[in-house]
């Protein structure tokens, strides 16, 4: 008897939780979709780049490297979130600080501005591309 009651209760839960084909569950409908754009698309939307301010210790080191930063760009083109993915430790903080000040044109999807995720790669020579503090 108990096993039958459990099966009936489980079947009732499954019916309540069932979602029609092509529809998202209510919880998924409430969260925004993550839209990824290529770095090339993001580069075309870039309207303001900030200067990279490096520590003086980087000057004699003459570090030449690429720092890759994952970013989330808001509907208004402002960088909402950024995190270094790779690059030399000496240049990570200066590049991250600069990328956080970047400004983009809004990315439009079906005529509406949406948040997007992408990566920004900054290839630099610490002596040539840095402004020293």
Please check whether residue 70 lies inside any domain of the structure: yes
DSSP string across 6-49:
HHHHHHHHHHHH---TT---HHHHHSPPP-B--HHHHHHHEEE-
Q: Is residue 67 part of a domain?
A: yes
For the segment 34-92, what is each residue's pLDDT rounded down to a tens digit?
A: 799 999 999 999 999 998 887 777 666 677 789 999 999 999 999 999 999 999 888 89
Specify the CATH number for the domain of residue 116.
Answer: 3.30.2420.10
Q: How far is CA 51 from the centre of its chain?
A: 21
In a domain, 41, yes or no: yes
Tell if the pTM clears 0.85, that is, is over it. no
Residue 90 belongs to what domain range?
A: 32-132
Give me the percent of the chain exceeding a pLDDT of 90.
51
**Counted domains in the chain:** 1
Using the predicted structure, report yes or no on whether residue 121 has a pLDDT greater than 80.
yes
């Amino acid at each position: 008897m108990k096993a039958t009651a459990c099966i009936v209760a489980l079947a009732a839960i499954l019916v309540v939780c069932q979602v029609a084909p092509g529809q998202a569950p209510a919880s998924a409908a409430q969260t925004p979709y993550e839209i990824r754009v290529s770095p090339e698309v993001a580069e075309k939307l870039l309207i303001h780049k900030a200067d990279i301010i490096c520590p003086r210790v980087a000057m004699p080191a003459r570090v030449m490297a690429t720092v890759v930063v994952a970013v989330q760009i808001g509907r208004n083109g402002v960088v909402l979130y950024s995190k270094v993915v790779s690059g030399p430790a000496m240049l990570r903080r200066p590049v991250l600080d600069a990328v956080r000040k970047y400004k983009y044109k809004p990315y439009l999807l079906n005529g509406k501005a949406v948040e997007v995720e992408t990566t920004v790669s900054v290839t630099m020579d610490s002596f040539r591309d840095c402004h020293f503090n």
